[in-house]
Amino acid sequence: MPAPNTPTARVAKHGDKMIEVRVRFWTDSISDQQDTVIPKHAWDGGVVVMDSNKSHGIKPGPPRPFNSLLDLTSALAKVLVDHGVTLHTSTKTRKLIQP
């Protein structure tokens, strides 16, 4: 018998089994010419976005901004929490963390 508050497994079609998070970097105002970009150049800030995934019951939410690469992991964690995602540690990670 599953523990209380344990979600039940459900069938997921190919392509919906993974949870996807997108990172988008701002590129505005790098070029000195209006309405242009410099290819492959971006600021170290932007937004983290989670798209919908029916198999996981995820509905898109607002983008979470970050102001530097140092802030990216915090924004990623907030997006995961906002969408109710629970991460499970891998065997390799568990070797680094003491209970």
| 82 backbone dihedrals φ, ψ, rounded to 5° | -55, -30
What does the block give as tokens for 23?
């990172």
From CA 40, how far away is CA 63, in angstroms rounded?
22
Asked whether residue 29 is domain-assigned, the answer is: yes
The pLDDT of residue 12 is above 90: no
pLDDT digits (tens, 9 = 90+) for 22-71: 999 999 999 999 999 999 999 999 999 999 998 889 999 999 999 999 99
What integer pLDDT is reported at residue 76 of this predicted model?
A: 97
Torsions phi, psi for 54 (to 5 deg): -65, -40
Q: Is residue 1 part of a domain?
A: no
- Residue 58 located in a structural domain: yes
In a domain, 74, yes or no: yes
Residue 10 included in any domain:
no
In total, how many domains does the chain have? 1
Tokens of 68: 């530097």
Q: How far is CA 18 from the centre of its chain?
A: 12
pLDDT at 15: 73
Lowest average pLDDT, out of 11-20, 44-53, 67-76, goes to: 11-20
The pLDDT-based confidence of 2 (bands split at 50, 70, 90) is low
Judge whether 7 lies within some domain.
Answer: no
Q: Cα(1)–Cα(6) distance, rounded to whole angstroms?
A: 10
Residue 33 lies in a domain: yes
Domain contains 83: yes
The span from the CA of 86 to the CA of 81, in Å, is 8
Domain that holds residue 73: 21-96
Q: Are 30 and 41 in contact (CB under 8 A)?
A: yes
